A and B are shown apart, each in its own frame.
Chain A
Amino acid sequence: MGILRRNDPRSGFALLGMLLILVVLVAAGAIGAYVWQHRTSTTASTTGTAPAAAAGTSAHVLQLTQSDAQDESKIDSGADAQAQQDAQSANTAQSNVGGAYNETSF
């Protein structure tokens, strides 16, 4: 009456199911660990690993000015998608000229 009886074919399926669940759990854990590690390293690289310098020091001035430059650059790059959209904003009107008539209606 044991769970895994040698001659019961269902016991083989139960074992297979447990193994499958185990594999899924291990895979999910591995993926989770990878994502967590990736996010941690990404956050570190974007925020900068250097600790914030004390205010009123040249190190702080350096950090501030570097940050200012990055912010300014982001303003420009952030507007690029809009500039691209603006540059193509007349394309529809240009294409519509070709649909000014239906020659088969003559």
Chain B
Amino acid sequence: MKRVSNTRIASAVGVAAVGVLALTPATSMALGTTGTSPFCTNLPAKITATNTSVTAMTGKVTTAWSQQDQKLAADQQKVDQEVAAARATADQTRASDFTKLQAKATTPAEQTAVQTYISAVNNAVSTRRAAYDAARHAFRTSLADAISGRRTTVTSQMTAFQAAVSTALATAQAGCTANPANGTALRTALVASLRTARQTFQSDRKSDTAIGTQVQQFAATRKAAFQAADTAFQTAMQSARQALQTAFGSTSA
């Protein structure tokens, strides 16, 4: 008895559901009271929100670039200050050595030799420092160029992204204007377009990290320039030292 009763209830519910569906207009699930789909009704607000968000995000990129410039400048200034301080200390220590060397020179020939040596050492130090400065400058120029180039690329990618988004939104809006009831199909097309635009832009981001490798390459180039300067410096120093020792007739100088 119980099973029969359940079957009857199920049948009654099914009949009622079919009746309701038959009596209800087919568009009532997708359309509002004016015949416009909920998608098309909500689209203008969604477009505004999306445009606002994209604009805000691209604005943050500009801000990040500005902060990046400031950070780079501050860090480079810090390096310059440390180098300047190290050079000043080195100059003082070297001057102290020169004073002691001059005190050792008792004959005019030795005094002349010490003066020649001091000039040669100072020249070698200046040359080495100039080479270091040039290498450092080249490093920074390469870094700035790489960052600038990267920004140009990213700007282009952001422009393309924004254009794709705008086109997708405009197409959806035009579709809603032409056929407000076609919300489902318009939404499907819009979602696909926006997804493609986003995925393309995000895929482009994979190359963002390449600049880290570039910095390493620039540093390696700078290091090689430093080493070349060091080699030339050593040669000049050894030559000056040999001349001084010859003048003093010993290796005590």
Contact = CB atoms under 8 A, between A and B. Distances in A.
A94 B61 contact: yes
A75 B139 CA distance: 14
B234 to A, nearest CB: 8
Interface string B163-181: 0010000001000000000
B198 A98 contact: yes
Interface residues on A, range: 35 or more
Contact of A106 (B39, B75, B96, B147): B39
A93 B158 CA distance: 12
B233 A103 contact: no
B31 interface: no
A7 interface: no
Contacts of B209: 88, 91
B53 interface: yes
A84 B216 contact: yes
Given A57-B101, A60-B97, A75-B82, A84 B215 contact: yes
A56 interface: yes
Interface residues of B, number: 88
B136 A95 contact: no
Contacts of A92: 64
B198 A103 contact: yes
Given A58-B117, A69-B128, A93-B64, A88 B244 contact: no
B68 A55 contact: no
Given A58-B244, A89-B68, A95-B208, A101 B216 contact: no
Interface in B106-159: 117, 121, 124-125, 128-129, 132, 136, 139, 143, 146-147, 154, 158
Contact of B136 (A57, A71, A76, A84): A76
B42 to A, nearest CB: 8
Contacts of A79: 75-76, 78-79
Given A80-B219, A101-B194, A56 B143 contact: no
B215 A87 contact: yes
Interface in B37-80: 39, 42-43, 46, 49-50, 53-54, 56-58, 60-61, 63-65, 67-68, 71-72, 75-76, 78-79
B64 A77 contact: no
Interface in B202-253: 202, 205, 208-209, 211-212, 214-216, 219, 222-223, 226, 229-230, 233-234, 237-238, 240-241, 244-245, 252-253
Given A68-B86, A84-B215, A97 B58 contact: yes
A83 B100 contact: no
A65 interface: yes
B143 A83 contact: yes
Q: Which 6 residue pairs across A and B have the least CB separation, nearest first?
A: A56-B100, A103-B194, A93-B64, A90-B64, A68-B90, A98-B202
